[in-house]
Structure 1
Amino acid sequence: MNKHTQKIRKYAGLFGAICGGLLISAPAISQRAVAQRPTSQINPCPSIYYEEPHNSRILVPQGCPPNALTRKLAAQGMLPPLTTPTPAPSQIPFSVGGEAPDSAPPGLNPCPRIFYEAPHNNQVLVPEGCPPNAFTQKLQAQGISPSPVVPARPPVTGIQPPLPEQQQPPSTQVALANGRVNIRLVNDSGAEVTYEVVGDTPARSLEGKSDTMLRNLNAPVTLTFFRKDGGLLQVTPQPSAETGMIEVRLNATTDVMQDKNTVRIQEDGTVFLN
């Protein structure tokens, strides 16, 4: 065998070894790639978080749009401020979820053990009738009921004045006469207005482009009014040169920032609008 033939066989053997190594390593590379590929796409924010009773009982994971309970606790300062916008219903992905305890089929445990295991133990409100878990006990200790009941609003018998902390800064000042004031109410709008001096008069109507005089009102005085057609009112109080007299003019407006429905005169004559 000459040297040329030996070289050819040597290179052929080397080439075969390289190819064989590639063929052996190829399945291993393929298997590693398959092992690194996610086996499934798990939705971290399933729609069950936004359905009752979970919507009002379960804290959604970080990064998910907030549900009702998450927003409520964030508003009460028990969670960090929310930065994720609430999605439209059409944006909430579909998933398979459980049923409310009241609609569960017979034999289904309404108080499963998962409610008492991490992380649910610290994130989920247990249903009524179940032993409280850590999260439920925490809220109860803070006076928050697991199933809060909103009391029925009492019937409205008249126009309710705003609370003092809801009032705007002082608008003007009127000189009272022995603690009394007369109010000339002028309706310059073209709409009928219902007005009331809280505690002094019942609700009354004032036609558009008309006025009325309210006399000898003891301060503090709360005058409330609203347009019957639901429109907005701009209010302008104008103290008179006459002691104990103020004129309140009502005009139509389309600017919601100018809309007012209350004039309050304090014991010292300070006038607030709200």
Structure 2
Amino acid sequence: MNRNAKKIRKYVGLFSAICGGLLISTPAISQKAVAQQPTSKINPCPSIYYEEPHNNRILVPRGCPPNAITQKLALQGLLPPPTTPTTPTPDQRRLGVGGELLNSDSLAINPCPGIYYEEPFNNQNVVPEGCPPNALTQQLLGQGIDPSRAIPARPPVTVIQPPLPEEQQPPSTKIALANGMVNIRLVNDTGTGITYEVVGDTPPRSLAGKSDTILRDLTAPVTLTFFRGDGGLLEAIPQPSEETGMMEVRLNETTDIQQDKNTVRIQEDGTVFLN
């Protein structure tokens, strides 16, 4: 009996030693396995660069496929030439998207944009200091002139003329001229006097109410102006006559400002406009 008890105690001790060794070695194995796992890498070109609103607001890091704003600035010559791919800066990683376009100090703007070397700027504007000279800068240097003191040439200014009356409205009527000339019978159907003038042919004249006058031998183009002495509104009605080179203009009182007219123009082809 004593011999069996001793054998049992021997086996129990051996089993305990084996289990204890396993418990001690397990953490070490786990730590070693964790240490052997590869560390994760940061994606330098996250997809958020290509999603709105970042797609049109934020430049991608160098080496990444260009998004919309990067392509746009590159086409305008506002970005420096591409270099070897780089990872995002610490500020870009902190912001998660690379930093705002207008506020990031890490974004380099090309100081010598290509527009300085395209017409008309190539021959009109001096390039910034430190940039390769364009045509104008080379010309000034050749003349011994300091480009920084030169005044950039301004492009010619095109004067925009307002459209003529005939381009703004349809003609009121048309008459047959007599060798390029016309006679106008001006009829004042109002009860008050008016003042009229053929621009370039007659001085201002008066025409009493309920009266008329004939203006003869006027060479087209003709501009006839008129207004009421009391400041009232006038309606002008041009009526071609059966007689060649004759036109009647009747002036009536009106209260409709849309009908108020003070000028009759007869073009060289006999077209008549009211204004």
| TM-score of the aligned structures, taking structure 1 as reference length | 0.40
| TM-score of the aligned structures, taking structure 2 as reference length | 0.40
